[in-house]
Amino acid sequence: MRRIFLTILLAPLLVAAQDHASCPLDHHWQEVYENPLFERWLSKYDVKFYHLDLEVSNENTFIEGAVTILLEAVEPMDTVVFQMIDALEIAAVEIGGSEIPDFLHVEDAVYIPADAASGEMFSVTITYSGDAGQDRGFFAGITSAYDNTNGQWVTYTLSEPLNARDWFPVKQVLADKADSVWVDLTCDRSLMAGSNGVLTAVEELSGDRHTFKWRSAYPIAYYLISLAVADYRDYSFHAPLSDSNDSVLVQNFIYDDDSYFAEWKERIDDTGGMISLFSGLVVDYPFFREKYGHAVAPMGGGMEHQTMTTLANFNFNLVAHELAHQWFGNSITCGNWQDIWINEGFASYFEYIALEHLHSAAAAENWLEYAYSVAINETGSVYVPEEEADDPGRVFSHGLSYKKGAFLLHMIRYELNNDTLFFDVLKTYSEAYRDDVATAVEFREVLEQVSGRDFSCFFDQWYYGNGYPVFTIQGTMEVDTLVIQSHQATSVSSTPLFRMHFDLAVRTDKGEQVVRLYQEQNEQTFVIPVDGFVTGIDFDPFNHLLAKGSASIQLTDNKEFVVGPNPFRSTLLLRFSQFTDQVSLEVLDMKGTVVKASDITTNPFEVDLAALNDGSYMILVRGPQGTFREKVIKVSND
């Protein structure tokens, strides 16, 4: 059972001299990775709209059809460039309905002559076909796979981070969200095809084919456009938003199998509670005018396609993670892949939040312990360095981007020490950058604006820096105070000090309390008032910190033992600096009469003196080092 403490924010006497210098680190001025085509070509226009009209199968990655892109020139241009792999063969290119024969398709890019003045809008249609499948494992843009467990073929897309070009012509720049997207998917009549937005029609065609017409009017990042094709059935329901009078459609394309539906229905239904929870804690589900949904595919986990996640199963944590991305990753998208924390760290932490509110305290604690065990063993920063930004394995590091990223939010929540304030930060952030992109710097600015606190040092240490602190805490008991000597080492030399709060649970004979201290030097002393005899201390009792620590009680240098509480009512506790099994205790009244005698067998040692009258007594401890005395006073229980 988790212990409940009252956390007391103290300003204890700091015996060590204070160092209020600014944070010694300065990691955040780093180069930002950019698409190599951006400066010369892709920066010249703004994408307004994509219309994908494709014929697809569930058993292979061959696609054919046309994609129309509406764009606006942001400066004079004579060539428009899109990204698309060379394996896809272009049959025709049109601008405004006129064919453009002299295009160039080379090195996974399409160069199309297009004279346009700044501010001019025009559409480009590219008709193409080919096998879009690429051997990139999990990060292939489009995949056909057989689900051995459920006996289903599925074709699905996963364009993150830079693989939308595998299956359609695209501008792969995060900051340029299209204002809207249409996706028309033609497949065999025995199949269903899912995508973004609202399913406005299913058009029946000759040859036992039909076309699913999906429409979305929300801004969308290129990598969140999707398709999934299989022998699906539609299981849909509505989920309440923050206002119980409002709701959103939850549309699930699951395998058309009764046993599959029976196995997963309860877990699918969990989605509704999560939508209501996240809407209440942050802001309403960002795409509530359209839908939230799932399309099942035999993949390793899930992918948060806007309004319709593709996933392997309906595991509680997986569903919570991908749903949270609709706020953090989709409505707000990371401004560059180096700030993937904006997507993955946030979505990962909302797994914990969902467990806290909808599951159990034990399940949430288990999640936190696992995240800690992964993150504490990682090296490197949560921020992805520029030289590693084109490596999907580094960008999507399980330990750094996901688990350590989640722990950063957990520690921010701890630093704020106010859940209302923490969720106000997330609400303000969600409203400020809705349908846009954001970086960690911009999130930090919102955090500081809402909280009124400076988090620059926190981000330098935890986001741009690496490693973690290691605390060694020693407490010395005085009459009514606990003197804490806190030594902080770190796991890496590049971050020599973590300036931070930490909690100590102080256990006394009268109960337990938590004190919160702030360390800003490697060696620091705190003097804490206590009520009662201290029996022990614990470091970080609620697992708030990505840190290691040990805490112990020691005696002052000139004492062999301490005894307390003093005065006492019924029992005394003795603690020894050096303990052997050849120690005995005598309790004498003021006449010198022994009223209690005992061998001391444990450290600390508890002795019951409830039967004694009120008054003064002498404690004698006899051992190999001699005889030691301490005067105590017994008081009435009344």
Residue 620's domain is classified under what CATH number?
A: 2.60.40.1930
Average pLDDT of the residues in 543-556? 88
Which of 185, 192, 187, 159 lies closest to 174, judged by CA?
A: 159
pLDDT (mean) for 523-536: 86
Residue 418: the pLDDT is 97
Boundary (domain end) residue, out of 230, 255, 290: 230
- Where is the domain boundary, 495, 522, 554? 554
Give whole-number Cα distances, 21 to 16, 496, 523, in Å: 15, 14, 15
510/568 same-domain check: no
Q: What is the pLDDT of residues 396-409, one digit of tens each?
A: 999 999 999 999 99
Q: Does 226 share its domain with 138?
A: yes
The token duo for 136 is 């990139």
- Indicate the helix (H) or strand (E) that contains 511: strand 511-519
Q: Within this chain, do residues 522 and 630 fall inside the same structural domain, yes or no?
A: no
Round the average pLDDT of the chain to a whole number and report it: 91
- Give backbone dihedrals phi and psi of 554, rounded to 5 degrees, phi first: -130, 165
Q: How many CA atoms lie within 13 A of 607 on its CB side?
A: 27
Give how many domains the chain has, as a whole number: 4
Nearest to 234 by CA among 252, 261, 258: 252
Same domain for 172 and 59, yes or no, is yes
Is residue 224 packed enough to be buried (19+ CB in 10 Å), middle (13-18) or exposed (0-12)?
Answer: buried
**One domain, residues 148 and 197:** yes
For 554-601, how does the pLDDT look when each residue is reduced to its tens digit (9 = 90+)?
766 556 777 878 888 888 888 776 677 788 999 988 888 899 999 988
DSSP state of 463: I
Residues 6+ apart with CB under 8 A from 194: 212, 214, 226, 227, 228, 229, 232, 253, 293, 295, 308
Confidence class of residue 16 from pLDDT cuts 50, 70 and 90? very low
**372-385 tens-digit pLDDT:** 999 999 989 999 99
Contact 7, 312 (CB under 8 A): no
pLDDT band at 213 (very low <50, low <70, confident <90, very high): very high
The three-point CA angle 213-218-219 to 5° equals 115
Give a three-class secondary structure readout of 19-77: CCCCCCCCCCCCCCCCCCCCCCCHHHEEEEEEEEEEECCCCCCEEEEEEEEEEEECCCE
Integer Cα distance of 487 and 472 in angstroms = 5
Residue 550 falls inside a structural domain: yes
Of 31-35, 491-495, 532-536, 561-565, minimum mean pLDDT range: 31-35
Higher pLDDT, 458 or 604: 458
Question: For position 161, what pLDDT does the model report?
Answer: 96
In a domain, 16, yes or no: yes
Residue 634 has phi, psi (to 5 degrees) of: -100, 135
pLDDT band (50, 70, 90) for residue 127: very high
DSSP-assigned beta bridge partners for residue 370? none
C-beta separation of 193 from 185 below 8 A = yes
Distance CA 356, CA 189 (A): 43
- Residues 426 and 481 grouped into a single domain: no
Residue 102 lies in a domain: yes
Q: Residue 583 has which token pair?
A: 């120690």
8 Å CB contact between 318 and 301? yes
Q: Which residues of 333-368 are buried (b: 16+ CB within 10 A; e: fewer)?
A: bbbbbbbbbbbbbbbbbbbbbbbbebbeeebbbebb
Residue where one domain finishes, among candidates 209, 230, 251:
230
Average pLDDT for residues 341-350, to the nearest whole number?
A: 98
Quick one: 16 and 85 in the same domain? no
Q: In terms of residue numbers, what domain contains 545?
A: 7-25+467-554
203 domain-assigned: yes
Residue 152 and residue 201 in one domain:
yes
498, 400: one domain: no
pLDDT > 70? residue 17: no
What CATH number should be reported for the domain holding residue 15?
A: 2.60.40.1840
At residue 77, the pLDDT reads 96
Percent pLDDT > 90 in the chain is 76
pTM across the whole model = 0.87
Q: What's the length of the chain?
A: 638
pLDDT at 148: 95
Gap between the Cα atoms of 609 and 595, Å rounded: 9
Q: Is residue 356 part of a domain?
A: no
The answer for residues whose C-beta is within 8 angstroms of residue 528's C-beta and 6 or more apart is 10, 12, 481, 482, 483, 484, 506, 515
Give yes or no: residues 73 and 197 share one domain.
Answer: yes
My answer on whether 545 and 435 are in the same domain is no
* Residue 91 covered by a domain: yes
Lowest mean pLDDT, pick from 105-109, 389-393, 453-457: 389-393
Give the separation between CA 160 and CA 138, rounded to whole angstroms.
10
Q: What is the pLDDT of residues 297-332, one digit of tens each?
A: 999 999 999 999 999 999 999 999 999 999 999 999
| For residues 541-547, average pLDDT | 96
Q: What is the CA radius of gyration of the chain?
A: 32
> Does residue 6 have a pLDDT over 50?
no
Same domain, 50 and 169: yes
pLDDT of 157 higher than 90: yes
Distance (Å, whole) CA 135 – CA 141: 9
Around 570, how many Cα atoms within 13 Å sit in the side-chain half-sphere? 5
Cβ-proximal residues to 207 (8 Å cutoff; 6+ apart), any chain: none
Residues 6+ apart with CB under 8 A from 393: none
- Split at pLDDT 50, 70, 90, the class of 31 is low
